[in-house]
Structure 1
């Protein structure tokens, strides 16, 4: 029941970074964990201290960091990546399979004042020092899908400016979501609802790309060309994607739901995109 795969706060990861500067910074950070242990883990998965997602969702662990993922996930977290399947495959094309499949249990301590971006920076340092990670970004002219409004200047009924919605310091109303966090849950009649509050159009573009990709409707990067600025609240309801040859055909597609509810459609274009390339990575010594 993994509906809006890329939209959920990650224990699921996958259409690109929300901050161009973060994407371009391939050098290791100077910030580091105070103490950190790294051990391969083949046992039951253990949930992380907070979501290692490209959005701003953050449950403050008060300096006690824990996660149990593959190096691929740690790389995407550290460099604030939200990749399409094709981009992910390109990033992993020249590295061993364990980078995507072997989980490593990381336990670390950090300053109690550390922010999510601080943890990203400390993870960059850990990846460089313990995994020998070296990567760079290449700018390439690629075919993409531009996210535009169906009606110029007018978003759909389920996409509203954040200042017209519920303040972030209030408990979310039923059928709503937390600020800064992308989530999804079952809705009526077998449908699923996903959404976020106080989010940006760049992150909504990532969301649209991940959702439509999960439905098998697209495989390209989605970029924002709506002209909308500021923070936005949205919800979208759709049937789960069909799985298997005998699965019932959904009443409507993810892109149809996004068009009708958010007032957003996609059109083909080209754009320069910054793609991560791993130059070197090794298994760390257990400690």
Structure 2
């Protein structure tokens, strides 16, 4: 069996992460998630070939029909993408924003591709043994290796002072509900189109998900909040800021269509619903500098 069963419900044959449509997956928050966050940070200072797990075969073809990305998903045994740019793939593989990618040729964000990559059964078996969050780390490493192999992508990392959003406490104070040790309530993050819901999670996880909302710059935690909290954040995403990955918790179905466009922006929602705000600042940000890249090799 190579299905990627994310939760206790029957979620086989659905991608771990997906863009096409609004129903994808949730992230249960366990101790493994924090470990995965740490591992991901470490992977950023390693060579892209650091992962021993790689795709066995991959088909990459120019997409001549899409004016925008139609889909991207990771399964246990394969990776698929439709109408994606290489810049979009780099963003997802390395979890960065556009302003954290330097030295890119113009075609990186204009030429679109359809990709189908398949892993050997032994690789799928190894992935099946990992937790959700460990698999997510490996999927991104495998994508990094694929980009290095087929696009001849090489890069290095630098730290620069760049515009960031600092998450700080708003004037009237935080509206988060703090949870306490011993509480029997479930813990986790539910995320979807215009929705972030936390149950017993640290602010670091909120910041992590805010950074994935295509705000144009990274989000840093400067709130000073050290506990674990319950919160619900709902807003109307701008189309050009929609995250690559959308989903819900425990395999639940997301909405059939985006929320009403009359809803609040994410900036307004953070202040009104959480008692926090995003403040424009400058801070140290890791930047990916592209040393070499080529259009993909023939299949």
- Equivalent of 2:85 in 70, 94, 107: 70
1:129 Cα deviation after fit: 1.6
With normalisation by structure 1, the TM-score equals: 0.63
1:150 Cα deviation after fit: 2.7
Number of residue equivalences: 231
Is the CA contact 1:144–1:270 (under 8 Å) kept in the aligned structure 2? yes
Q: Which residue does the alignment assign to 2:283? A: 271
1:166 Cα deviation after fit: 4.3
1:25 Cα deviation after fit: 3.1
Is the CA contact 2:174–2:275 (under 8 Å) kept in the aligned structure 1? yes
Q: Which residue does the alignment assign to 2:197? A: 195
1:156 aligns with 2:175: yes
- State how far apart, in whole Å, the 1-side matches of 2:79 and 2:18 are: 15
Structure 1: runs of 5 or more not aligned: 1-8, 13-17, 51-60, 169-178, 185-191, 214-218
Correspondences of 1:96-135 after superposition (within 5 Å): 96-109=106-119, 110-114=123-127, 115-135=135-155
Is the CA contact 2:157–2:289 (under 8 Å) kept in the aligned structure 1? yes
**How big is each residue's C-alpha offset from its partner over 1:249-282, in whole Å with a ceiling of 9 and x where there is no partner?**
9575432321121121233443211111212111
Q: Which residue does the alignment assign to 1:29? A: 50
Q: Mark the CA change 1:271 to 1:10 in structure 2 (over 3 Å): closer, same or farther.
A: farther
Correspondences of 1:229-240 after superposition (within 5 Å): 229=226, 232-239=229-236
Correspondences of 1:1-287 after superposition (within 5 Å): 11=19, 19-42=40-63, 47-50=71-74, 61-68=75-82, 69-79=84-94, 81-83=95-97, 85=98, 87=99, 91=101, 94-109=104-119, 110-114=123-127, 115-150=135-170, 155-157=174-176, 160-161=178-179, 166-167=185-186, 179-180=188-189, 182-184=191-193, 193-196=195-198, 200-208=202-210, 213=215, 219-229=216-226, 232-239=229-236, 253-287=265-299
Is the CA contact 2:167–2:219 (under 8 Å) kept in the aligned structure 1? yes
- Greater mean alpha carbon deviation, residues 111-120 or residues 61-70: 61-70
1:133 Cα deviation after fit: 0.5
Structure 2: runs of 5 or more not aligned: 1-16, 21-36, 128-134, 241-259
Tell me the C-alpha RMSD between the 2 structures. 3.8
- State how far apart, in whole Å, the 2-side matches of 1:28 and 1:130 are: 13
- State how far apart, in whole Å, the 2-side matches of 1:37 and 1:63 are: 12
Q: Mark the CA change 1:183 to 1:131 in structure 2 (over 3 Å): closer, same or farther.
A: same
Is the CA contact 1:29–1:124 (under 8 Å) kept in the aligned structure 2? no
Is the CA contact 1:146–1:224 (under 8 Å) kept in the aligned structure 2? yes
1:30 Cα deviation after fit: 4.3
- State how far apart, in whole Å, the 1-side matches of 2:104 and 2:71 are: 29
**How big is each residue's C-alpha offset from its partner over 1:119-171, in whole Å with a ceiling of 9 and x where there is no partner?**
2222222211221110111101234332112379x6414x5549758425xxx
- State how far apart, in whole Å, the 2-side matches of 1:251 and 1:99 are: 30
1:223 Cα deviation after fit: 0.8
**How big is each residue's C-alpha offset from its partner over 1:184-238, in whole Å with a ceiling of 9 and x where there is no partner?**
2xxxxxxx6443556553442354466594xxxxx54321112334665432233
- State how far apart, in whole Å, the 2-side matches of 1:122 and 1:249 are: 37
Is the CA contact 2:196–2:233 (under 8 Å) kept in the aligned structure 1? yes
